[in-house]
Structure 1
Amino acid sequence: MTETARPDEIEVIAPNFKRRLSGVTATIARLVPLQARMIGIRATGPGLPADVPHMPLWQCLSLPRSRDGRPVWRVWHARRNVEMLAGLVLRGLFRRRLRLVFTSASQRHHTGWTRLLLNRMDAVIATSKATESYLSVPATVILHGIDTDRFAPAADRAALRARLGLPAEARIVGCIGRIRAQKGTDVFVDAMIEVARDRPDVIGVVLGRATAKHRDFLAGLKDRVAQAGLSDRILFPEEVPVDRVADWYAALDLFIAPQRWEGFGLTPLEAMACGVPVIATTVGAFPELLAQGTTGTLIAPGDAQQMAEAAAAYLDDPDRLAREGAAGRAHVLNRFRIEDEARAIVGVYRRLLEQA
């Protein structure tokens, strides 16, 4: 086991061919530093944090093809079509000894081009059983995990709330993520208007970013809240840096994931890891992440009335909030630690290398 690997020790290459931050880039940034303690792995490509073990792309062409007279094989782990294609080019045109892996996170039927690429992979990983059902090739299901040290219950929630500018004694319900119709932010707002109207100590928090084309959507939500006379209790804080998001989860009494559509969706895991029960829609991997009735509740997407009723049932039952919050933390520790995800993926790498 090594913290990082010298070029002649590299066994796995994780390409990242997108400069802008995306879910795929964030996944690579979370996993590769952990995997570097288990196997010789380097990421390649732009847009990655400095602490991610990295190599320039050109170096892929100069890595040794043999050692002590024996062929050396490596794994190329793609997460985008262009990265699958690059692996095929490296293996076919440049004669690199590569075993090709692709991780699929989408829940939609693939184009003919994607299916053609998938058929050339040596192994495919699906991030959920729902994702696996859309694949035309065999896949290993490995669910995402999270950093349970970073996402953890607050030692002093009153002090944390004071630091975030939130009332210490309020019952606070949060929705965290990108602000857009696909993410169901409007459904959350409508549900919170209904819940907060009769509960003067309830606060709703919408935390996230609205890109340029969704700013009118955000403005409309704020107008809706203002018309309900709840601008002081349904809040839209400024987006916070990634390393501060965990604090906002830990400050909540209840988390709602209101998505109309989702590929996977980490937010329920992040909330549960912070000891917060979750209401989530039946999209993405959410049904595979929650333990229904134990760590949270699943509802239909797009149904603000059902969401409001589910939220009210939690907020009016403090014992249930505490019970399911504690169960959620235990559930994540038992099944969704990022170390377990990293180890499972490394297991796929090792099987391919042993077959080479």
Structure 2
Amino acid sequence: MADLREIDIIAPNFKQRLSGVTSTIIQLVPVQRRLGQRIAVLGSGLPATLPHIRYRDLWRLWTPPKGKRFRVWHARRNIEMLPAIILRDLLRMPLKIVFTSASQRRHTGWTKFLISKMDAVIATSAKTAAYLEVESTVSLHGIDTTRFSPPADKAEAKRALGLDPAQKIAGCFGRVRRQKGTDLFVDTMIRLLPQRPDWSAIIAGRATPQHVEFENGLKEKVKAAGLADRILFVGEHTNINDWYRGLDLFIAPQRWEGFGLTPLEAMATAVPVIATDVGAFPELIETGDAETGTIIPRDNLDAMAEATAQFMDDEPRRERAGANALAHARHNFAIESEAERLGAVYAKVMGG
């Protein structure tokens, strides 16, 4: 357990089920610690390797950390903003509250009220910032560009996953559900693969209980198309970085997304990306001279199939876009840069 006297920043996680927010905390906190930010987590569902504080130690927040007038509470959900407001405003603890918003929709009156009580607000994209009615700092997420990196040998990377190295692979990673557009990816592959025997497809990710029927329906559709050996549902993997290394093309077919890290993870692995115009995707992908992929309209099967076919049939384009994607991700989206931007927000609200 962390000593609260040595902790300047608390990162609460009040949701047990793994989510994008939880994943962000897990990835960011070690980097923040390496950069000298004295941060600890509070809550369940987080690895024991992270520095933790206990609920029963919250009374100690009446005493600020060594050398500081305030401590920062970095909330990412409504259920994390409200307790901080109570601690700061009712119990008069020396806290400053920072909130990160990833939502791209109009907030409810309750959420607007909570956000209005924040000392600083961070938006994960310019699109997210446009939905806020308070001043915010835009800070796009970053990723671990060491973990997500190209293989030395693509064929060997495929063999290690039990894949045929002679096959080119299109991938779609993330939760299996309609919101994520998994059905659009499957329908695109069913349309394109029969004419392209050198291509196969992978869906990596878990279907939660309420979406298992949806996943089973997709598997039946693939089987009926005679493509069960070329459109593979491989489930959820902790070594997902290795699965990116086996890809030649990545597709992010979401109908809705708050931010969406998968295109960044693919680009950092030198894989070109086709993504829908949701979340932060248009802010992540370059479509001009230094193309890293392309953006297509959401929920549009014809557009997805056309863009995918163009990339599948143009190997030089894929190679150029992959090289551009690698450089783009490393230069603009390293997780260390995100941690540094957060550190600047913390320093500002703490007064220096």
TM-score by length of 1: 0.94
Q: CA deviation at 1:188?
A: 0.6
Q: Distance in 1 between matches of 2:265 and 2:306?
A: 23
Is 1:142 the counterpart of 2:122? The answer is no
Pick the aligned partner of 1:306 from 303, 306, 321.
303
2:155 pairs with 1:158? yes
Question: What is the match of residue 273 of structure 1?
Answer: 268
1:109-128 aligned at under 5 Å gives the runs: 109-128=106-125
**CA–CA distance in 2 between the matches of 1:225 and 1:29?**
35
Residue from 339, 345, 348 that aligns with 2:345:
348
Range that drifts further, 137-146 or 55-64: 55-64
Contact kept, 8 Å, 2:4 with 2:65, in 1: the verdict is no
Identity fraction in percent: 55
1:201 corresponding residue in structure 2: 198
1:322-341 Cα deviation digits (max 9, x unpaired): 11001001001111011100
Q: Which amino acid counterpart does residue 333 of structure 2 have in structure 1?
A: F
Out of 25, 46, 49, the position equivalent to 1:48 is 46
For the residue of structure 1 that corresponds to 2:295, the secondary structure is strand
Aligned to 1:252: 247
SS for the counterpart of 1:174 is strand
Aligned partner of 2:185 among 175, 185, 188: 188
Alpha-carbon distance, 1:6 to partner: 4.0
Q: Extract unaligned runs of 5+ from structure 1.
A: none
Q: Which moved more, 1:180-189 or 1:55-64?
A: 55-64
The residue type equivalent to 2:321 in the other structure is E
Q: 2:133, 2:172 → 1: CA distance?
A: 35
**Contact preservation (8 Å) 2:203, 2:235:** no
**Runs ≥4 in structure 1, deviation > 3 angstroms?**
none
**1:3-33 CA distances to partner (integer Å, 9 max, x unpaired)?**
x974322211111112221111111111111
Inter-partner Cα distance in structure 1 for 2:134 and 2:349: 17
Aligned to 2:104: 107
Q: In structure 2, how many angstroms separate the alpha carbons of the residues matched to 1:217 and 1:103?
A: 32
SS of the residue corresponding to residue 29 of structure 2 reads: helix
Matched-pair contact (CA < 8 Å) for 2:157–2:242:
yes
Q: Which residue of 2 aligns with 1:296?
A: 293
1:21 aligns with 2:34: no
Aligned to 1:58: 56
Alpha-carbon contact 1:36-1:53 (below 8 Å) kept: no
Alignment-mate amino acid for residue 264 of structure 1: F
Q: Mean alpha-carbon deviation: is it higher for 318-327 or for 55-64? A: 55-64
- SS of the counterpart of 1:137? coil
The CA deviation string for residues 75-134 of structure 1, in whole angstroms up to 9 with x for no partner, is: 111111111111111112222101111000111111111111111101000001111111
Q: 1:284 aligns with which of 273, 276, 279?
A: 279
Query: SS at the partner of 1:173?
Result: strand
Say which SS state the counterpart of residue 351 (structure 2) adopts. helix
- The DSSP-based 3-state class of the residue aligned with 2:113 is helix
Aligned counterpart in structure 2 of residue 36 of structure 1, from 33, 38, 43: 33
Q: 1:87 & 1:5 partners in 2: Cα distance?
A: 19
Contact 2:69 2:350 in 1 (8 A): no
1:71 deviates by 6.9
Q: CA deviation at 1:167?
A: 0.8
Aligned letter for 2:222?
V
Would you say the 8 A contact 1:8–1:64 is kept in 2? no
Range moving further from structure 2, 328-337 or 225-234:
225-234
- Which of 152, 171, 176 is the equivalent residue of 2:173? 176
The letter for the 2-side match of 1:140 is T
Q: Is the 8 A contact 2:99 2:121 kept in 1?
A: yes
* Alpha-carbon spacing, 1:67–1:119, altered in 2? closer, same or farther (3 Å): closer
| C-alpha RMSD of the superposition | 1.6
Tell me the distance in 2 between the aligned counterparts of 1:226 and 1:296.
30
Residues paired across the two proteins, number: 349
Superposed CA offset, 1:250-276 (max 9, x none): 100000000011111000000000000
d(CA) in 2 for partners of 1:67, 1:212: 43
Secondary structure of 2:271's counterpart equals coil
Q: Find the aligned partners of 1:23 and 1:170 in 2 and give their Cα distance.
A: 31
Q: What displacement does 1:238 show?
A: 2.9
Q: Distance in 2 between matches of 1:215 and 1:5?
A: 40
Is residue 217 from structure 1 mapped to residue 214 from structure 2 by the alignment? Answer: yes
